[in-house]
Amino acid sequence: MKQELFFSIDVEANGEIPGSFSMLSFGCAVFNAAGDLLDTFSANLETLPNAKASPDTMAWWSKNQAAYDATRTNLQQPEQAMQKFVDWVNSFDCKPVCVAYPAGFDFSWIYWYIIHFLGAGKSPFSFSCLDIKSFAMAVLKCNYRDATKKNMPKEWFPKSKHTHIAVEDSIEQGELFINILKYNNKSP
């Protein structure tokens, strides 16, 4: 039986929704249930031809200029990047599980780009992604709005800092997920 591997994704974009705006960069870190980081993937993308940039998002990026600049180097065409990503995920002999924080944002971009550029049925995750915050809510047995990072146990958090560099954040969030998973598996 194939094991589940956890693919932690993080997306950086120039707006709120895919299609109207563009995904600038994405990163993915794959972990096994023991918490071993097996590999990473990242790509910086050319913007969509008819998309615009959100003024609010770009104002935020102006306060995080180094991270924004990192998204604008070594640009790839979205179709090529998504094909490389899908091929990379499919290269693992596993049942891939996508995880994100928040899944509603990050997965919507990844899924939209895969379907838009590669076609229906091409997502290695089907149309599912495990939301780390929802998982924390279940483990903590609290309300969703109370399942914030400030209310999570300190030992769940990795030592790495959130940088808004997609691949680095995918590692950080993947480590957070693995720590919640380990905590959950030890609970009676």
Domain positions in the chain:
4-186
pLDDT in tens, 62-88: 999 999 999 999 999 999 999 999 999
How far is it, in rounded angstroms, from Cα 183 to Cα 4?
A: 18
pTM score, whole prediction:
0.96
pLDDT at residue 188 is higher than 70: no
How far is it, in rounded angstroms, from Cα 81 to Cα 131?
A: 24
- Report the CATH fold assignment for 4-186: Nucleotidyltransferase; domain 5 (3.30.420)
How far is it, in rounded angstroms, from Cα 138 to Cα 131?
A: 11
Using a pLDDT cut of 90, give the percent of the chain over it: 95
Residue type, 36: D
pLDDT in tens, 129-164: 999 999 999 999 999 999 999 999 999 998 878 899
At 38 the pLDDT is 98
- β-bridge mates for residue 28, sequence order: 9, 41
pLDDT in tens, 30-67: 999 999 999 999 999 999 999 999 999 999 999 999 99
How far is it, in rounded angstroms, from Cα 40 to Cα 29?
A: 4
Neighbours of 58 (CB within 10 A): 13
How far is it, in rounded angstroms, from Cα 43 to Cα 24?
A: 9
